[in-house]
Structures are given as C-alpha cells and as structure tokens.
Amino acid sequence: MTNKTAALRYARALLDVAVKEKADLEQIERDLAEFVDLLRAYPALEKVLLNPAVPVTRKRQAVEDLMARAKFSPILSKLLVMLAERDRLVLLPDMLAAYRDRLMDYRHVARAEVTTASPLDAKHVQAIQAGLATATGRTVTVTTKVDPSIIGGIVARIGSTVYDASIAHQLDRMKERLENA
C-alpha cells in the first residue's frame, strides 16, 4: 500500500469518526494543519518523529507530550498517538491534504481551477463560480490562473472534468475538421 493510499484511509477514518462523534470538523482540520506546520517549523522534531531509527516508544511519548500541551481535539490526539505507535507519522502531510479533500466533499464543495488569457476581476470570477455551481450542483470555490497561450475564453477544471471554452481549443477543433474534410 502506498503512503498516499494509507493517508487517504486514515483521513477517511478521521472524518467518519468526527462526523459520528459530532465533532467540529473544521477545528480538526485546523489542529491537524497546526501539527503538520509544527513539524515543518521545527526540523529537529520532524527528524526525530519521522526517523525509523528512533524507537517507537520515544515517538509515542513525544507525541503524547505534544498533545497534552497543544490541547487538540481528543479524536485527533488519539489518532496522532496511534500513528506514532505505528511509526506512520510520515503520512501526515498527505493525510492533511486527503482530509481537506474529504471534508470539502462532505460539505458538497468543489474546487475549480479557472484559466483565462488575462486576469479576471471579482465580478467575472463570481459569475463563473455561479455558473460552475449550477453545472455541478455543488458549491464551488474558484482559483484563477492566467495562461496567454489559450488566446481567449476560459478553461475550467473541476476534479478530472475539464470545461474548455478557449479560443485555442476551438481553433484546434476547426483545424481537425478541415484536415478531415
């Protein structure tokens, strides 16, 4: 099993338990992000907790001490201690990303990446966001990107679905039709 697969399973379990226990899902996300940031901010701590040569009992004790001071939610605290016991703390960055994705899915929110040839103003972003929300039946959060190579129009990506209304795409299709005719 790859690390991403394992991280996805732990994230799914964390969300399932948090929903069942009626915990604050966003607080768990913030706490998990805070722990990941803590490891990044203190490379020595990260090195100790992720080093396979360090005994698991020391890692577990270190995480328990951190949990006592940090006052994280009990659900997350138990998971972090369990990950330390299993020497799986290396999964945390992937687990955070997977938890965020699962939480957005649980809240029926989709992320869209919108690419245009020139920057968009807030009014146009809101209009695109509303159109994508109608198309997907979900709340949509939009991140914008500028790529002059599309010439004009818009390319929107939501997950694996691409809505390509760019001029470059239209020209490519026209070229294909002319070559086939």
Question: The tokens of 141 are what?
Answer: 């959060």
Question: Which residue do the tokens 């020497």 mark?
Answer: 87
pLDDT computed for residue 2 by the predictor: 86
Residues 6+ apart with CB under 8 A from 138: 108, 109, 110
Residues 6+ apart with CB under 8 A from 83: 10, 63, 89, 91, 92
**Cα–Cα distance measured from residue 71 to residue 58, given in angstroms and rounded to the nearest whole number:** 20
DSSP β-bridge partners for residue 114: 144, 156
Instruction: Categorize the per-residue pLDDT at 181 as very low, low, confident or very high, splitting at 50, 70 and 90.
Output: confident
| 86 backbone dihedrals φ, ψ, rounded to 5° | -90, 5
Q: At what angle do helices 3-20 and 92-106 cross, to 10 degrees?
A: 50
Q: Give the global pTM.
A: 0.76
Question: The tokens of 119 are what?
Answer: 């920057």
pLDDT computed for residue 140 by the predictor: 93
| 143 backbone dihedrals φ, ψ, rounded to 5° | -115, 140
Express each pLDDT in 105-116 by its tens digit: 999 999 999 999
Question: The tokens of 180 are what?
Answer: 């086939």
* β-sheet with 161-166: strand ranges across: 139-146, 109-116, 153-158, 161-166
Domains and CATH numbers, the chain: 3-105 (1.10.520.20), 109-180 (no CATH)
Provide DSSP, 63-118.
Answer: HHHHHHHHT--HHHHHHHHHHHHTT-GGGHHHHHHHHHHHHHHHTTEEEEEEEESS
Does residue 139 sit in helix, strand or coil?
strand
Question: The tokens of 20 are what?
Answer: 């069942």
Which among 101, 103, 27, 20 has a CA at the least distance from the CA of 70? Answer: 27
Express each pLDDT in 22-78 by its tens digit: 999 999 999 999 999 999 999 999 999 999 999 999 999 999 999 989 889 999 999
